[in-house]
Structure 1
Amino acid sequence: MPGPFRYTDPTPPKSATGRTAEVYAQMATDFGTDRAPTFTVLSSAPELLTATWALMRESLLAGPGTRTGKELVALGVSLANRCPFCVDAHTMLLHATGDHRLAETVARGETPADPEQARLLAWGKASRTPGAPKLTPVPFSAEDAPGHIGTALAFHFINRIVSALLTENVLPCGAQKMRAVRSLAGRSLSATVRRELLPGTSLALLDEPDAAGPAWAAGGPVGAAYAALRTAATSGAGLLTDEDRALVAETVAAWEGSHPSLSGSELPGRDRPGARLALLAALAPYRITDEDVTAWRTQQHLDRCLVHLIAYGAFAAVDRIESALGRVALAG
């Protein structure tokens, strides 16, 4: 049966060693599985794997705010980014929280009946667009801001990695599309999802666990994890020429959250394959094709290189989004 990986061949978790094995062990305890393709696909770049896991753990799993509320934010982000894999995954995780009616309401594309839940979902969707009116007022307290903003940013990054490097199926043959399967899969994770986790545990896995994070994170573990991901992801800049880096920076700086047209005329062609891949990863990773990858990849470009280039483009968009969310949070 075909696996979930599109362009890489990651080492199976059971064969992992060193820091990668430590990440998988923590995932098994805190997330309920060490085999999530979302993270396995990053295993050729341990610094990316570790930082991505840390940001997700410290915000969604252990950060302030209710798990249901943060799952709604993650789901809204995934809907805005057109990432069906993550939409299905968070629908199942809503089942795991025990709110089965809510899970199926969002699975049908409907608005939650509870106004606060509806606002969280809408805020997650709006977060793709810097300066969107629906970003204010924020639907969470100042104390809960690190958990909610960290969750949004974690999934703006993860969505892009998933859409670029994985297929759309969370489960084999798309079984997650069946209501009974979604419910059963969620219930299997319910004990893990409802556990209260100690914040900061993942920071021991980072190279620089004390790096300064953004102001909205209030000096907590979410900020340290975000800073680590910023360092790991931006290291991919070295895979591009100066001209291509400038093009990526200029294009993302001018981006207002829209999805590129089907013609893709606003993107560079395959004569500039590195810039094209990075910008697709930032703006429309679901449109990356075999031809795009083949045009850039050479014998010297190992899996690690491709993962780093995609992460570089993905984080360029995350950085643009973070600057807007940070302003909103600090403004109250």
Structure 2
Amino acid sequence: MSGSFRFTAPTPPKHATGRSAEVYRQLADDFGTDRAATFTVLSASPELLASAWALVRESLLAGPGTRTGREVAALGVSLANRCRFCIDAHTMFLHATGDADLGETIAAGGVPGDPEYARLLAWAKASRAPAAAGRTELPFPADQSPGYVGTALAFHFINRIASALLTESVLPCDLQRLRAVRSAAGRSFRRAVRAELAPGESLVLLPEGERAVPQWAGDSPVGPAYAALRSVALMGAAFLDEDEQARAREMLSAWDGAHPPAYWPELPGRDRPALRLVLLAAIAPYRIEQEDVDAWRTPQHTDHCLVHLVAYGACLAVERAEAALTATTARMHTVRPTAAQEAQ
């Protein structure tokens, strides 16, 4: 996947060294390609790259639950966030799992015929709006929360990175918009998608440090991966002063999850460029323009600085989603029985 990069010039995988080179090795083995733009775009910060990869690997690729179910969750979150890049990518991955019609139905705005997938999709889409997420029944057993909650939170982060820093083109000339191309791409990923991965192998790549592991993750490797990504992403707060940090959290606290209208008077102007970029990254990353980046960037602001600033805004939104989803997880340890259970 060779998506076009906006605002940054990432290091190509073949030139990577150290931690980043190890991430790309795992990407090639476990994800099916070392050229996934959603990760390469973070290469200016090896710590962000490694932490984002670890969370995706341990939840989407190796977490509990089914790969098809976790792909439905990733696709549902991407639809809620209007991340065209990720919608197209995970539709292709559902082709790879053998669930092409399911992926096509969801990507087109339809509802799966399978009621379990329909509930999972609704849960994932509701996760953008905390009030709705808090009312949505868990569509999976509580012991599968690391896989499904981890995947949802991973894609609340990845969607925002992709929408802010990538174009919408997964493939050149938007070829991924053709079903035949999605089918062919799915076949190329089939072996990787259907492989059984050993959990925890990405944790050796994480930056060192003691971090609080979230309760919803239990003793799963998803917990350390999520804690590492949150810790590294929040470092971007250093680009805002204390008043701006407080204002960002205040606006996120009041946000209901809706996509903002074209006229958005609450958004700070370009005279407060760091705060503006953080809020755009959190709420409407697809609306970040070159002028927004230029208003903030100085000769001292490298690509490393920009990806950390965007990651900070993304993480503020992820924290809100986590609070809503995990409140539901803690409250609902019993879920709707499956058809097989009802028949017993």
Task: Give the TM bin, normalised by the shorter chain.
Answer: over 0.9
Q: SS in structure 2 opposite 1:128?
A: coil
1:145 match: 145
CA contact (8 A) 1:129 1:256 kept: yes
Aligned equivalent of 1:249:
249
Residue ranges of structure 1 left out of the alignment (5+ in a row): none
**C-alpha distance in 2 between matches for 1:78 and 1:222:** 20
The separation in 2 between residues aligned to 1:31 and 1:114, in whole angstroms, is 27
The equivalent residue for 2:76 is: 76
Q: Percent identity?
A: 65
Closer, same or farther in 2 for the Cα pair 1:54/1:210, shift >3 Å?
farther
Q: Output one character per residue of 1:224-252: Cα deviation in whole Å (capped at 9) or x when no partner.
A: 10000011000011111112111111111
**Paired residue total:** 331
- Could you tell me whether the CA contact under 8 Å between 1:212 and 1:219 is conserved in 2? no
On the 8 A contact 2:274/2:296 being kept in 1, the answer is yes
For residues 82-121 of structure 1, the aligned pairs below 5 Å read 82-121=82-121
Q: Distance in 2 between matches of 1:134 and 1:75?
A: 20
1:133 and 1:310, CA in 2 relative to 1: closer, same or farther beyond 3 A? closer
CA distance in structure 1 between the aligned counterparts of 2:211 and 2:269, rounded to whole angstroms: 37
**Correspondence 1:313 to 2:313:** yes
**Relative to structure 1, is the Cα distance of residues 53 and 3 closer, same or farther in structure 2, using a 3 angstrom cutoff?**
closer
Cα separation, partners in 2 of 1:100 and 1:134, compared to 1, 3 Å: farther
Map of 2:215 onto structure 1: 215
Does the CA-based 8 Å contact 1:157-1:318 persist in structure 2?
yes
Tell me by how many angstroms 1:135 deviates: 4.8
1:131, distance to aligned residue in structure 2 (A): 2.4
Is this contact kept in 2: 1:209–1:225, CA < 8 A? no
Contact 2:76-2:121 at 8 Å conserved across structures: yes
Structure 1 residue ranges (4+ consecutive) displaced by more than 2 angstroms after TM superposition: 133-136, 208-212
Displacement of 1:98 in angstroms is 0.6
Task: Name the structure 1 match of 2:338.
Answer: none
C-alpha displacement of 1:3:
6.0
CA contact (8 A) 2:55 2:229 kept: yes
The separation in 2 between residues aligned to 1:267 and 1:170, in whole angstroms, is: 29
CA displacement, residues 27-55 of structure 1 (integer Å, 9 cap, x when unaligned)? 10000000000000000001100000000
Going from structure 1 to structure 2, the CA distance change for 1:73 and 1:198 (only over 3 Å counts) comes to: same
- Report the equivalent of 2:337: none
1:151-199: CA deviations, max 9, x gaps? 0000000000000000000000100000000011011101110001000
Residues 3 and 171 in structure 2, CA contact (< 8 A), matched pair in contact too: no
- Check the 8 A contact 1:123/1:135 in 2, yes or no: no
**Cα distance in 2 between the residues matched to 1:271 and 1:211:** 35
CA contact 1:123–1:134 (8 Å) conserved in 2:
no
Find the counterpart in structure 1 of residue 13 from structure 2: 13
**Structure 2 residue ranges without an equivalent (≥5):** 333-344
In the alignment, what sits opposite 1:187? 187
Query: Which residue number in structure 2 is paired with residue 278 of structure 1?
Result: 278
> 1:8–1:250: structure 2 CA closer, same or farther, 3 Å change rule?
same
2:28, 2:34 within 8 Å by CA — same for their partners in 1? yes
Describe the shift of the 1:41–1:187 C-alpha distance in structure 2 as closer, same or farther (beyond 3 A).
same
Query: Is residue 2:24 matched to residue 1:24?
Result: yes
**Aligned letter for 1:269?**
G
